[in-house]
Structure 1
Amino acid sequence: MLLEFRVRNYRSIRDEQSLSLVASKDPELGATHLIPTGLKTLPSAVRSAVVYGSNASGKTTLLFAMHYMRAVIAESATIVQPGQTYNIQPFKLDDAFVTEPSSFEVTFMFNGIRHQYAFELTPQRIVSESLLVYHSAKPTQWFSRHLKDDGETYQYEFSTYLTGSRKLWEKSTRANALFLSTAAQLNSEKLSPVFQWLVDNIVFIPAGAQIIHDLTTAMLNTDEGRTAVREFLLAADISIADIQAVPRKGFRQQVVFQLGGTPKSSQEESEFLVPIFHHTTPKGSAQFELHEESHGTQRLYGLAAPVLDILKRGSVMIIDELDSSLHPLLVRRLISMFHNPVLNKNGAQLIFSTHDTSLLDHTLFRRDQIWFVEKNDNQATQLYPLTDLSIRKHEAWERGYLAGRYGAVPFFGELPDFLNTLHPSPVRVEKQYFDPEID
């Protein structure tokens, strides 16, 4: 499970910002909304966290930073080539930060043990990297790596806990690659599981992403998968009596690009699965293909496989603008799946951003699950939880947020006078858009 994420000097984030999923001591909704950690100092973590803020406040930047961190871990030792630079964007509105490295840190529970992994990087290289492991209340630093003053070589330190070919891993680690990733590729018995957890257990879905439906459709091939998808849609109150995958034949278009030549396109006949939805009413029944369903149903159908997989594996799902194309009640139902200990037996977590203020509800969230982002006078993103604010115990959160008591809302000034000249009179509008002869 994820306990905390920290990021500094990344896009609109200048100073270090911390998103914590460690639960407060408040017992409210504890039986459903909290996951036991097994730690005395941090006994519980929340199953979800929601981020609010006005447009361009930094919500997407915060969530994407977790995805970027995961991508660097996954690809630095394999996809990234020697000498290749990273597309990393520091905070550009402060000259002191433009040349500074961006930093990422994640604290998580793995195999019942708390881990804390961090690294700093510039476009050209990794500047520092470390891994702390809490076998007891006092952490052990398994390894650390720091760029020396010469700007080219690194100082490494290792713990005796980290067994294996440490010198080989050190020698094999490029300046633009992470030591963790390199050691994992070279089959480090200790570091490979840590690497794998970070790569496999953080799933990011950007706003407006076209979710691939094939993953959900593939689940329909088995009775277990078909039942899981059907029940997922039924749990969201989608009026579908049944669903099945039907094989269809069609043509796939392939385009081959050749250096110095003209792209060649070809078609080949292949068989693929098409989901068919069965609807039943007192007046009759009918079958619909996916493209005939509503856009909200299509999005929910696409989310079925990722969400079911996340719940099964106990992973972390990060969604930017969860409410996109989904009715607020469907969003509530989706959140409730993560809060349901029966459905979510393995401690999966949901982190998402939204503009839907109706979700600011005491029956849906605890105070320590609600976060806000806004920009300060330097246009730098600031992140803070609802628990930092002095509010009454049963205060109406939605009303308080929309009234601006919590910040993180857009500020509207007066409209410029010249805008008044852009609106035609009602008479002109009528003449412009309506034909009196037709009326």
Structure 2
Amino acid sequence: MLREFGFKNYYGFREGISVSFALDANCPAHISNGDPFSTIMGVKGANASGKTTVLRGISFLSAFAARSFSYDPDDPIPLVVHFDSSDPCELYAEFDVNGVTYLYEASLGGNQVVSETLYRTKAKKVKIIERQGNRLVHTIGEFDALKVMVLRPNASVISTTKQYGLPGLEDVHSFFVKVVSNVGFTGHVYDGSNSPAVAAELHHDAEKREFVAKFIKSIDVGVTEISIHESVERDPADPSKEKKKYTPFFQHGETYLQSITWHTESNGTRALFNRLPKIKRALDTGGLLVADEFDLHLHPMILPKLLNMFTDQDSNPNGAQLIFTTHDDDVLDYLGKYRCYLINKRDNESFGYRLDELPGDVLRNDRAVAPAYRSGKIGGLPRV
């Protein structure tokens, strides 16, 4: 479970931001469900304020930690510092795996790793690994075997350990691998571009296919069934080779003849078809789903139904988490002040705060949040 993450000198966030999922004693019981950390976190703000960058920060850190050894040795590290800053970008994530708390910190600049540090807390907090440049300068005894690794400037210690097949960091690597995101280096990745892969995934996973179909049928007034058709076609790059193609069909009525394809289905149904498998993956693994514009093409009343999957302990027994952006104002009243960050920008610098960090009593547990937001009292509004 993700406790907190943050970054500094990353895109528009010169001074940085910390995003905490922690819930204190002031949080109402109907929000916390008795848990110390939230399973959902919303991010709101004006266009170009930096909302997507908040999600991009944890998405990038997760990908770098778990998969950066897959970069070519000469590849640049895919990050952007604040304008012409010569300072490194600093990122961190604190998380729990199997009852142990880890804190991973990375400083990256000049297309190379400046430093990495990993802490572990059991009975007490201990620094277990420290890297400076391409050298491991500190390991506790059980990780001394990692000293045989040859470190690359653009690859993390965690991904390098995985590549070498060395033991010790399996839980840390597993946490970052289970982060599923629709945000990349350039920002939001449109769901529709991945529909063939989604269709293939659902074809081979009957449980996931049923999950998607059940939800869509529950909110779509026309769809009665979803099926995936498998066909074989010639590879355009090499006509001598064949490859399998998977096409979704959405049935509207009692017979297969009343089916339509992806291209003629509604945008809302197509959006759910692509997003629900990611939700199912997060729920099954207890991972983190990072979802930019989570409600794009969806009716506002569908968003709470999706969020309930993460807040309901019956549907989320593994403690999966969701962090998302949205332009929907009404969801603020669902989230309350403990589960939402507002992002603002001033003089080309982005900054953000969780709503319970606001001083005074503008926001109280017994008051709706959306009216205060729309009135401009708490920030995060576009200038129109």
TM-score w.r.t. the length of structure 2 is 0.89
Task: Verify: 1:28 aligned to 2:24, yes or no.
Answer: no
- Which residue of the partner structure matches residue 386 of structure 1? 355
Task: Verify: 1:334 aligned to 2:306, yes or no.
Answer: yes
Task: Verify: 1:375 aligned to 2:356, yes or no.
Answer: no
- Which residue of the partner structure matches residue 141 of structure 1? 127
Larger radius of gyration: 1
Report the Cα offset of residue 221 of structure 1. Answer: 4.8
- Which residue of the partner structure matches residue 267 of structure 2? 295
Report the Cα offset of residue 217 of structure 1. Answer: 4.8
- Structure 1 residue runs of 5 or longer lacking an equivalent are 37-43, 148-152, 255-264, 413-439
- Which residue of the partner structure matches residue 335 of structure 2? 365
Task: Report the secondary structure of 1:25's partner residue.
Answer: coil
> In structure 2, which of residues 212, 217, 226 is the aligned counterpart of residue 243 of structure 1?
226
Q: Residues 247 and 173 of structure 1: is their aligned pair in 2 closer, same or farther, counting only changes over 3 Å?
A: closer
Equivalent residue letter for 2:229: V
Deviations 1:35-62 (A, max 9, x none): 84xxxxxxx1101000111111111111
Contact 1:88 1:123 in 2 (8 A): no
Give the Cα–Cα distance (whole angstroms) in 2 for the partners of residues 35 and 230 of structure 1.
Answer: 32
Q: Residues 269 and 173 of structure 1: is their aligned pair in 2 closer, same or farther, counting only changes over 3 Å?
A: closer
Equivalent residue letter for 2:223: I
- Which residue of the partner structure matches residue 90 of structure 1? 81
Contact 2:344 2:352 in 1 (8 A): yes
Deviations 1:308-327 (A, max 9, x none): 11111111011111121111
Task: Verify: 1:399 aligned to 2:371, yes or no.
Answer: yes
- Which residue of the partner structure matches residue 104 of structure 1? 91
Task: Report the secondary structure of 2:72's partner residue.
Answer: coil
- Which residue of the partner structure matches residue 16 of structure 1? 16
Deviations 1:157-183 (A, max 9, x none): 1223x33513212xx112333222222
- Which residue of the partner structure matches residue 192 of structure 1? 170
- Which residue of the partner structure matches residue 210 of structure 1? 191
Task: Verify: 1:72 aligned to 2:64, yes or no.
Answer: yes
Task: Report the secondary structure of 1:342's partner residue.
Answer: coil
Q: Residues 123 and 88 of structure 1: is their aligned pair in 2 closer, same or farther, counting only changes over 3 Å?
A: farther
Contact 2:71 2:154 in 1 (8 A): no
Q: Residues 215 and 33 of structure 1: is their aligned pair in 2 closer, same or farther, counting only changes over 3 Å?
A: farther
Give the Cα–Cα distance (whole angstroms) in 2 for the partners of residues 55 and 253 of structure 1.
Answer: 41
Deviations 1:218-238 (A, max 9, x none): 424565344222222234445
Task: Report the secondary structure of 2:69's partner residue.
Answer: coil
Task: Verify: 1:275 aligned to 2:248, yes or no.
Answer: yes
Task: Verify: 1:173 aligned to 2:151, yes or no.
Answer: yes
Task: Report the secondary structure of 2:77's partner residue.
Answer: coil
Contact 1:367 1:386 in 2 (8 A): yes
Give the Cα–Cα distance (whole angstroms) in 2 for the partners of residues 309 and 166 of structure 1.
Answer: 31
Deviations 1:18-76 (A, max 9, x none): 0001112235354x75584xxxxxxx110100011111111111111112112222343
- Which residue of the partner structure matches residue 39 of structure 2? 47
Report the Cα offset of residue 336 of structure 1. Answer: 1.6
Give the Cα–Cα distance (whole angstroms) in 2 for the partners of residues 397 and 297 of structure 1.
Answer: 30
Task: Report the secondary structure of 2:215's partner residue.
Answer: helix
Q: Residues 69 and 290 of structure 1: is their aligned pair in 2 closer, same or farther, counting only changes over 3 Å?
A: same
Which is further off, 176-185 or 338-347? 176-185
The alignment covers a number of residue pairs equal to 374
Contact 1:76 1:178 in 2 (8 A): yes
Give the Cα–Cα distance (whole angstroms) in 1 for the partners of residues 151 and 242 of structure 2.
Answer: 45
User: How do 1:150-165 residues align onto structure 2 when only pairs under 5 Å count?
Assistant: 154=135, 156-160=137-141, 162-165=142-145
Task: Report the secondary structure of 1:163's partner residue.
Answer: helix
Q: Residues 327 and 268 of structure 1: is their aligned pair in 2 closer, same or farther, counting only changes over 3 Å?
A: farther
Task: Verify: 1:121 aligned to 2:95, yes or no.
Answer: no
Equivalent residue letter for 2:161: A
Task: Verify: 1:228 aligned to 2:215, yes or no.
Answer: no
Task: Report the secondary structure of 1:303's partner residue.
Answer: helix
Task: Report the secondary structure of 1:104's partner residue.
Answer: strand
Deviations 1:304-350 (A, max 9, x none): 22111111111101111112111112222211211221111111111
Give the Cα–Cα distance (whole angstroms) in 2 for the partners of residues 88 and 271 of structure 1.
Answer: 36
Deviations 1:370-414 (A, max 9, x none): 1101013x32111101101232332221111011000111224xx
Give the Cα–Cα distance (whole angstroms) in 1 for the partners of residues 206 and 47 of structure 2.
Answer: 43
Q: Residues 178 and 217 of structure 1: is their aligned pair in 2 closer, same or farther, counting only changes over 3 Å?
A: closer
Contact 1:33 1:47 in 2 (8 A): no
Q: Residues 217 and 333 of structure 1: is their aligned pair in 2 closer, same or farther, counting only changes over 3 Å?
A: farther
Task: Report the secondary structure of 1:105's partner residue.
Answer: strand
- Structure 2 residue runs of 5 or longer lacking an equivalent are none
Equivalent residue letter for 2:44: Y
Give the Cα–Cα distance (whole angstroms) in 2 for the partners of residues 189 and 216 of structure 1.
Answer: 35
- Which residue of the partner structure matches residue 262 of structure 1? none
